[in-house]
Amino acid sequence: MSHNRIHNFNAGPAALPTSVLEEVQESLLNFKGSGMSVTEISHRSKQFDDIINDAVERTKRLLKLDDRFKVLFIQGGASMQFCMIPMNFLGGNKSADYVDTGTWSTKAIKEVEIQGKKINVVASSKDKNYSYIPKGISFNKDAAYVHLTSNNTIKGTQWASFPDTNNVPIVSDMSSDIMSRPLDMDKFGFIYAGAQKNIGPSGLCMVIIREDMLSMVPDDLPSMLKYSTYSSKNSMYNTPPCFGVYMVQLVMKWLEETIGGLEKMDAINRKKGETLYGFMDSSDFYNATAEPDSRSLMNVTFRLPSEDLEKKFIDEAQKNGLGGLKGHRSVGGCRASIYNATGQDAVDALVDFMKEFEKKNG
């Protein structure tokens, strides 16, 4: 059935799989014959237990997590994690290494500094307006953790592979590229992701934490700001964001059963990226802003010859059923976010439109 849906290139809240939205639509009035909406069932019911446990199990299978890892759901988005991470892992005299790749890394660094915790910014790509991912970084071997933002939605950069940190656990903000590719989990002590880009609606943050990191949590933190509280109560110390957890469960099911896992998802995402960047590299009219070896497969940032043309491009694209192409207000320009749920068909339609637009305005 036609829903009159546009091709959605929003950066977050962003596209969700249509089949998932259809299932939600069905369960909104009557969840699995309960006579209640999925938004009305008790978080203490067996029905919700099944939802949250299935969301956790599917996440573990997709990322091939062993028993060392716990999957938690926390409210407050990724931004809440910026302050919780140092609170939980930088007790006493500990220090952490941070890599600054722009906006979100910069905000994460600020939250550590507000608390007066010790931090080393071991690398930054500020010198070139954050258009690349730094290489050849020397990390401190006694750091409690190394913090990286795996993908920068605003600057359009992404870590193609993760650095060797001499066994210091990587703590990574993966809000915009979680579940877009397989990960070598041996490098990571902690992963967090605001749901609203690749795995669900806004309002919750998925946290994946390794047991040895849990043992670092001090006792004297407020209950709601301690990872151990969430881990010991299966994320249900208080009422969790039930609807968000339910949607994450359905997106994980879609990734497992419809897509067929993260290797397959990765291949789909690479092809979308090749289509879009390949076209832009062949054109003098469109200019991708990130350096080629640092380009994001999730957020493709680009410029046109003038701001007037960019405005015209965004307006005409919208009229042609291509939405969300305006760049972040802090950098301007254009941006196509091509998360998991935005398909090859959307990218092909965008490239066709870009060719036409260039013909008329180039």
Place of tokens 């008329």: 360
Catalytic entry in 173, 177, 226, 326:
173
User: What CA–CA distance (Å, rounded) separates 59 from 255?
Assistant: 10
Three-state SS letters, 141-192: CCCCCEEEECEECCCCEECCCCCCCCCCCEEEECCCCCCCCCCCHHHEEEEE
User: What CA–CA distance (Å, rounded) separates 14 from 9?
Assistant: 7
Catalytic entry in 70, 155, 187, 197:
197
Token pair belonging to 175? 């809000």
Angle between helices 242-253 and 46-63 (to 10 degrees): 40
Place of tokens 């997590």: 65
Token pair belonging to 28? 């909104």
Catalytic entry in 104, 177, 187, 326:
104
Q: Report whether 180 contacts 126 (CB < 8 A).
A: no
Give yes or no: 173 in active site. yes
DSSP strand E in the chain: where?
A: 7-8, 69-74, 95-100, 118-124, 146-149, 151-152, 157-158, 170-173, 188-194, 205-210, 287-288, 299-303, 322-323, 334-337
Chain-centre distance for alpha carbon 345: 22
DSSP 78-128: HHHHHHHHHHHH--TT-EEEEEE-SHHHHHHHHHHHHTT-EEEEEEE-GGG
Give yes or no: 272 in active site. no
Please identify every residue annotated as catalytic: 104, 173, 197
